[in-house]
Amino acid sequence: MSEYQVLVVGGGHAGVEAAFAASSLGCKTVLITPSISKIAFMSCNPAIGGIAKGTLVREIDGLGGAAAESADRSALQFRMLNMKKGPAVWGPRAQSDVNEYSKAQSQKLKEARVHVIEGLVTRISGPTDRVSGVTLTDGTNISSDAVVLAAGTFLKGILHRGTKSWPGGRRGDVSATALEQDIRDRLFHVKRFKTGTSPRILRNSIDKTALSQQESHDLKFRFSWASKEMIRNREECWLTRTTEKTESIVKQSLGHSPLYSGRINGTGPRYCPSFEDKVTKFPDRTGHPIHLEPMGLSSRVMYLNGLSTSLPEEIQDRIVRSLPGFQNAVISAYGYSVEYTCFETGEFDETLKLRASDNLFVSGQILGTSGYEEAAATGLLAGANAARKVLGRKMVVPDRMNSYLGVMVNDLVMRGTDEPYRLFSSRSENRLNLRQDNADRRVYSFALDLGTLSKGQIADYENRDRLYESYKKTVENKRIKGKSLSDICKRPEVSHVDIAQKIDLDAGDLTKMGILETVVLDLKYSGYVKRAEKRYTVRKRYGNVSLRDIENYSTVKTITIEAREALNTRKPRTLSEAESIPAVRQADMDALVLYLMNRSVSRET
Amino acid sequence: MMDQQNDLIAAIATPEAVSAISVVRLSGRGASATVEKLMNLEQGKLTGRRRAVGDFAGIDYLVAISWPFGNSYTGEEMIDIMCHGSPGTPGRILSKLEESGARIALPGEFTRRAWINGKLTSLDVLTLSSEYQGDNRGDSHRDLSKELLELTSELEGLIEFSEDHEVSNENQIQVLLKDVHVKAEALLNKVRRAEVLPRVFIMGPVNAGKSTLFNKLYGQETVVVSSIPGTTRDGISRQISIAGRQIEISDSAGFGGEVLDGKALTLLLSSIRSGDRIVWMDPCCEKPANEISDLHQVLFLKSQADNNTNTTNSGWLPFSSVSGEGMAELFQFISATEKGSSSWRIERIVELIQQAITAAKYSDIALSAEIVGEILFEADQSDMSTDAVERALERFCVGK
Ligand SMILES: Cc1cc2nc3c(=O)[nH]c(=O)nc-3n(C[C@H](O)[C@H](O)[C@H](O)COP(=O)(O)OP(=O)(O)OC[C@H]3O[C@@H](n4cnc5c(N)ncnc54)[C@H](O)[C@@H]3O)c2cc1C
């Protein structure tokens, strides 16, 4: 008998959701992390959400996860990004109080009766195909039926600034070196990624009169249907721009940058570039926007969003002071970058279980992702599947047509990533449907498959669903001057607020208004969504022809060596999955089809 | 065609005339090896551009340009041999290649291979075909695709990054959208011209009412698009549009009823394509004593039904141009001609672009992007009327 059913290594964004989900399924769960006070700590910018990411947070809510409610509780300021780009790509984003968020997530763990142990895991115990628990620094053994790894940026983490580098998972935290070695000793394929963060500034050292205040939105928004209160704007954020002086300091200092002097070998994200990257890629641009965001309510420290850098300290001082309003700015913590180990694509499948093991799971940054939201969502999936495995239930996989979680997991497993993977709305083939307003509806059936929802959550959902159906019926049946209301919905200038008036819905009831909004948008986009789904199936014309019978592609001589290798590592289940692997070209697909046909013929005779 | 898909083909790709340069093109499996042998080169040595020597030395000062498999116009191993454009020289090169096992290419065969290998889309071939007919007005499909891709990246940039990096703006998008609209309309016209329309032949004995029907279709219920010179002997053809579909109708009056002379009939039958339709009219319900009765795309009309006491035989539809009886069924029969015609697809593209413009006007960039994605999909649908492409290819010369 093991002490625990599910054991989670690492109390970051992924680990917390993994433990929370496993516990929701009724498993006796333990979370091991070096410091309780840093549970779900925001290592980088103090905010949750954004384009696609905010939608993902609402999916987490629909799947019974914890992050959405904590994001609401700790929010300081709210903005709906992309407000003028269409409802399908609206990106809710809350500025967060870092400590409040961490406390809120710890509270969630407590409510879920997750056992939290302070400690650093040095080894996984038992053979890889069936692990039996972990060992901590002090030699303690803890046994468990399944283990979920969620070690973030800590696996042999190395921090860099200027010419200095030192081991660490992030500023002030030790690196998980022994665990990384154990992973390598178990012959997992791993790779090195890197990411960076910006300097923090003392609030009272900035001259705010030189800055412009960033507009916040009072939309009465909440990420979670369970939150009783809407997000209020309690703090201010500010905007400044880099000057020519800023860019020229950086350009002259590139030789001191660990990124450019070749000391960092890891691959960094293209889309969240360091400031060094920005001036190199856009040498003629000046006036890059820099956002100034508080680390907490009335916090003395502000975060400089947009100025991620790992240049030496004295250069960071000069860069910061070249910004308008920052002549006397004092840096309280310098920017740096971190290089860390994560698993190579192909090591895990879409349940987030490592292929080489029966009961070892991965989630968060070590999958090759980047971002709190991405980490939290994959944590939820890995934790729930680990619990399902232990309970002898079938593990489940989200569908990429229904959720960003599905898009992300499918991308990570089938396409792989050679830089930290971040969600974008354009990664989805079904973007008009993957909206933030209908997140709970889209993921509900998957949530039931996962088994993470409580009875109360199911009842709440069903109430909302009843309202949805009744509004939908009203809109479809009601006619105004001979025109059906559903046709009126489809006009580009009509929004749910107009429809609410026509069906006498109280605009003050935010829940009801939210549901009506989904009814209206579903109607507006239904034709496009249907066609998108059709296109998706046409593109996937190879459908679900199983490839399970092919154990080794090396014997399929008609396809290119490149494709053989890719197929051997990814092990796609079906032809359509094979098609989505970049190394597999059309000609390889044709050859593969022929191969399958010939084989089935020779078997019949 | 399929079994010889990448055998070695060769042809002179430039006009037979005195010119600075002429090109002989060779494509297919073993193209490099063949030329390497002729040039006394070791296998694998012919890459990029090279002075052609060896067996070629006696012919002229030659240069061979080699494209690797996958990267050439045809998508196969391909070699262009350039020589001076003096009469006879390209021919001598071609003979050498033929001696080495190459087959002389059929008209349009290089382009066909490019299409089969995914180097050109169906629309590319159609627009190339109309350009080849000397029609260079407007822009080609490639321009449109390029523009659409640029538009996509602007739209996606606006959606994903404008909050942080200010990469695109809405005005830019509007300008690009309008540009794409203009290009798509030009393309539509071009494809309409390039396309061979499905045809409806109106046939039957003299005085069966063919011309009355023809004039009725041409004159009233339908929109006249253009008039094209007769395609059947002495007959008249008109391009009409029924239910949004372009169709060519032919009044084959010249065949003179039941006594179709053998030669004319053979000619007509051989020109009938799978997408065509035949309307056979006879007030007496007598099936023609020739192969037409066996074709499946024939509608038999018992004409002049308004003043006709003959019994209606089974398989015949009572019809009258005067009372309108049977007209609805006839329209249905005619408009069921071959689906998926290319101009129909491009009409859809033009309509979609209009929708994308409207969406952007109402600040729904995501919807705009969705529609542009749909257009790109429409534009490179591989199942797009292969028939139309086959026909367009027929118009290409040898060497193209
Ligand atoms: C310097 C820096 C810059 C970043 N920049 C960006 C950015 O620009 N954009 C972006 O989207 N994201 C950025 N992030 C990443 C963001 O912090 C992560 O994506 C997110 O935190 C990942 O969540 P996680 O749960 O996977 O890991 P983490 O939040 O890193 O949590 C890992 C947890 O596991 C614990 N742990 C590790 N090893 C062990 C062990 N052996 N035993 C016990 N516990 C262990 C750690 O103590 C930690 O609590 C940055 C992170 C850092 C450090």
> Angle between the B170-194 and B122-132 helix axes, to the nearest 10 degrees?
60
The ipTM value here is 0.83
Domain range enclosing B383:
127-194+341-389
How many residues are given for chain A?
605
- Residue B88's pLDDT is 83
* Domain co-membership, A79 together with A147: yes
Structure tokens at A106: 């710890």
Instruction: Look at residue B271 and give its three-state secondary structure.
Output: helix
**A87 at the B interface (CB within 8 A)?**
yes
Looking from the CA of residue A122, the nearest atom of ligand 1 is: 41
pLDDT in tens, A266-317: 777 766 678 888 888 788 888 888 999 999 998 999 999 999 999 999 999 9
* Domain co-membership, B138 together with B215: no
Instruction: Look at residue B180 and give its three-state secondary structure.
Output: helix
Q: Which residues of chain A have pLDDT under 70?
A: 270-272, 538-544, 582-583, 586-587, 597-605
Please tell me the pTM assigned to this model.
Answer: 0.75
* Domain co-membership, A139 together with A246: no
**A85 at the B interface (CB within 8 A)?**
yes
Last residue of a domain, one of A396, A427, A458: A427
Calculate what percentage of chain B has a pLDDT beyond 90.
Answer: 5
Half-sphere exposure for B243 (CA within 13 Å, toward CB): 10
Give the CATH number, domain containing residue B375.
Answer: 1.20.120
Last residue of a domain, one of A512, A531, A550: A531
Instruction: State the Cα–Cα distance between residues A1 and A563, nearest whole angstrom.
Output: 45
Instruction: State the Cα–Cα distance between residues A65 and A52, nearest whole angstrom.
Output: 17
- Residue A540's pLDDT is 63
The side-by-side arrangement of strands in the sheet containing B236-242 is B223-228, B236-242, B245-251, B199-203, B277-281, B298-302, B317-318
Of B141, B22, B4, B120, nearest in space to B72 by CA: B120
Q: How far is CA A599 from the centre of its chain?
A: 42
* Domain co-membership, B324 together with B207: yes
* A459 within domain boundaries: no
* Domain co-membership, A323 together with A353: no
* Domain co-membership, B131 together with B112: no
Mean pLDDT of B149-177: 72
* Domain co-membership, A513 together with A550: no
Q: How many structural domains is chain A composed of?
A: 4
- Which one is predicted more confidently, A284 or B397? A284
- Residue A53's pLDDT is 97
* A109 within domain boundaries: yes
- Residue A105's pLDDT is 98
Last residue of a domain, one of B335, B353, B372: B335
Is residue A288 within 8 Å of A273, Cβ to Cβ? no
Looking from the CA of residue A39, the nearest atom of ligand 1 is: 49
- Residue B224's pLDDT is 43
* Domain co-membership, A25 together with A152: yes
Last residue of a domain, one of B101, B118, B135: B118
Cα(A44) to centroid(ligand 1), Å: 9
Pick from B171, B173, B348, B364 the residue to mutate for testing the A interface (most A CBs within 10 Å). Answer: B364
Q: How confident is the model at residue B231 (pLDDT cuts 50, 70, 90)?
A: very low
* Domain co-membership, B225 together with B301: yes
pLDDT exceeds 90 at position B244 = no
Identify the bridge partners of residue A94 per DSSP, sorted by sequence position.
A48, A78
Last residue of a domain, one of B319, B335, B351: B335
pLDDT in tens, A467-518: 999 999 999 999 988 889 999 999 999 999 999 999 999 989 999 999 999 9
Cα(A38) to centroid(ligand 1), Å: 11
CA distances in angstroms from A129 to A124, A354, A385, listed in the order given: 12, 9, 17
Give the CATH number, domain containing residue A290.
Answer: 2.40.30.260
Q: Angle A353-A355-A356 (CA atoms, 0-180°, nearest 5)? A: 120
- Measured between its terminal Cα atoms, the distance across chain A in Å is 52
Structure tokens at B323: 């009372």
* Domain co-membership, B161 together with B280: no
* Domain co-membership, B286 together with B264: yes
CB contact under 8 A, B362 and A424: no
* A462 within domain boundaries: no
DSSP assignments along A477-539, one per residue: H-EETTEEHHHHHTSTT--HHHHHHHTT--TT-HHHHHHHHHHHHHHHHHHHHHHHHHHHHHH
- Among A132-136, A257-261, B84-88, B230-234, the minimum mean pLDDT is found in B230-234
Q: How confident is the model at residue B264 (pLDDT cuts 50, 70, 90)?
A: low
| Helix, strand and coil percent figures for chain A, each rounded to 5 | 40, 20, 40
Single-letter residue type at A23 = S
Mean pLDDT of B200-210: 78
- Residue A573's pLDDT is 79
Instruction: State the Cα–Cα distance between residues B143 and A51, nearest whole angstrom.
Output: 32
Residues within 6 Å of ligand 1 by CB: A 9-15, 32-34, 38, 43-44, 120-121, 150-154, 169-170, 173, 176, 179, 195-197, 272, 308, 338, 364-365, 370-372, 375
Of B200, B213, B304, nearest in space to B312 by CA: B304
Instruction: State the Cα–Cα distance between residues B386 and B396, nearest whole angstrom.
Output: 16
Of A271, A270, A259, nearest in space to A312 by CA: A259
- Residue B281's pLDDT is 84
* A441 within domain boundaries: no
Give the CATH number, domain containing residue A166.
Answer: 3.50.50.60
Q: How many structural domains is chain B composed of?
A: 3
* Domain co-membership, A396 together with A521: no
Give the CATH number, domain containing residue B62.
Answer: 3.30.1360.120
* Domain co-membership, B241 together with B284: yes
* Domain co-membership, B220 together with B315: yes
* Domain co-membership, A475 together with A521: yes
Looking from the CA of residue A136, the nearest atom of ligand 1 is: 42
CB contact under 8 A, A84 and B370: no
Domain range enclosing A142:
4-196+340-427
pLDDT in tens, B268-307: 666 666 567 788 888 888 877 667 777 767 888 888 888 7
* Domain co-membership, B39 together with B85: yes
Residues 6+ apart with CB under 8 A from B382: B118, B121, B122
Is residue A272 within 8 Å of A263, Cβ to Cβ? no
Instruction: State the Cα–Cα distance between residues A180 and A156, nearest whole angstrom.
Output: 6
* Domain co-membership, A393 together with A409: yes
* A358 within domain boundaries: yes
- Residue A4's pLDDT is 98
Calculate what percentage of chain A has a pLDDT beyond 70.
Answer: 96
* Domain co-membership, B208 together with B331: yes
For A549, other C-beta atoms within 10 Å of its C-beta total 9
Give the CATH number, domain containing residue B314.
Answer: 3.40.50.300
* Domain co-membership, A346 together with A330: no
Structure tokens at A255: 């030789």
How many residues are given for chain B?
400
* Domain co-membership, B151 together with B211: no
* Domain co-membership, A242 together with A328: yes
Instruction: Look at residue A313 and give its three-state secondary structure.
Output: helix
pLDDT exceeds 70 at position B153 = yes
* A537 within domain boundaries: no
Last residue of a domain, one of A531, A555, A580: A531
pLDDT exceeds 60 at position B392 = no
Instruction: State the Cα–Cα distance between residues B304 and A315, nearest whole angstrom.
Output: 96
* Domain co-membership, A177 together with A315: no
* Domain co-membership, A289 together with A225: yes
